[in-house]
Structure 1
Amino acid sequence: LVYKIHDVKDSTLIHNKRKYKTIRRTRGKEIRNTLYHPQAPNP
């Protein structure tokens, strides 16, 4: 599955059509885009 993370604090997971895991700070700025791996640890 692929998720989009909007808040690092809340760690809210939202299903995303893209095969990327978008990590955004509370400011809403995209700071990192990486391929999502099921075995990867949560940020």
Structure 2
Amino acid sequence: MERLQKYLARCGVASRRHAEQMILDGLVQVNGVTVREMGVQIDEALD
């Protein structure tokens, strides 16, 4: 399991800080659900 913002940064989507701002702005979805809070854990194999 890994924090969503760290995963986005590792995949090259954005820097970790920019990924955090994208999450706060409601621009990120996981499994079709908009994520707006920090610290969400994802499992790359499942999400």
TM-score, normalised to structure 2's length? 0.24
- The structure carrying a bigger strand percent of its residues is 1
TM-score, normalised to structure 1's length? 0.24
